[in-house]
Amino acid sequence: MTATTRADIPGAARVVVKVGSSSISGDGAHRIDTIVEALSRAHGAGTEVVLVSSGAIATALPLLDLEGRPHDLATQQAAAAVGQNVLMWRYQTSLDRFGLLAGQVLLTAGDLENATHRSNARRAMERLLGLGILPIVNENDTVATHEIRFGDNDRLAALVAQLIGADALVLLSDIETLFTRPPSEPGARPITDVAWGDDLSEFEFGAGVVNGVGTGGAATKASAAKLASTAGVGVLVTSADLVASALSGESVGTWFAPHPDPVTLSTGPVGAVTRAGTLSA
């Protein structure tokens, strides 16, 4: 059942949760346990959960003695190869407490633009979910180039939610809610609910690098939320620290109501639109 309000999230059959790099790397690495506990509780209640996790490159920085996110593509790819392995180990170690198994799914935008690859990705995730496994999705940074990148994992999460026909999408980061302008500026007001069709052009969403390790920001989350809600997926944007509250349907974060008559933006030919709750096959 599509979640039309926050309160519907606990009863959703399938939920995609996305967490950003800065929330689970460096001093924030302890949040992996917090997130896994909340996901495991939802899984135990009968919800199928897919986790989209950034953080591979950020996780590798201290291991490679790199002071900041590398700028050259080759070093980014190398860091991703190291960090993805460690990140998955951290997730699986945490999941072991609940007797759950993770399955790694690495994608590029090119995979979702190709009908065969898209079908393969959907089939693999459906089977993982059917086996009771937690799919953990990330961009395949080791092979991704500028031309085949999603741009940010918020967009990837929105596309994955469409791909598998999720009932809700939860975007987690360092912020509890979106604001009408950067919260440090005078007059900034929290946005609690965005009805379908609301005009967001008057709001000033910040964007850019978060804590020197992640890419994205409020603008990417608002954009991804609009993309997913267009496809009929309700979206909640909130803090990683509030993941348990988010999955329990509490009044936290910013809620984007789903389109009542969903139209899905296809990742096939530019401008293609299909009527459905998932990407075109």
18 known ligand binder: yes
248 known ligand binder: no
Q: Which of 12, 125, 141 is nearest to 74 (CA)?
A: 141
Cβ-count burial of 52 within 10 angstroms (0-12 exposed, 13-18 middle, 19+ buried)? buried
- Does residue 253 contact residue 171 with C-beta atoms inside 8 Å? no
Computed from CA positions of residues 247, 249, 250, 256, in that sequence, does the dihedral angle turn out positive or negative? positive
In the chain the beta strands, taken as DSSP E runs, fall at: 14-19, 48-53, 102-107, 134-139, 168-173, 178-179, 190-191, 193-194, 208-210, 214-216, 234-239, 254-256, 264-265, 273-274
User: What are the tokens at 242?
Assistant: 């509030």
CA 162 remoteness from chain centre: 12
138 known ligand binder: no
8 known ligand binder: no
27 known ligand binder: no
**Which residue shows structure tokens 């689970």?**
24
226 known ligand binder: no
Which pairs count as long-range contacts for 267-271, CB under 8 Å and 24+ apart, including other chains? 267/109, 267/112, 267/113, 267/118, 267/159, 268/113, 268/115
User: What are the tokens at 98?
Assistant: 């609940």
* Cα–Cα dist 261/75, whole Å: 44
Q: Which residue type is seen at 260?
A: P
Cβ-count burial of 236 within 10 angstroms (0-12 exposed, 13-18 middle, 19+ buried)? buried
* DSSP bridge partners of 122: none
* Binding-site residue ranges for ATP: 18, 173-174
> Which residues participate in the annotated binding site?
18, 54, 141, 153, 173-174
Binding-site positions for substrate read: 54, 141, 153
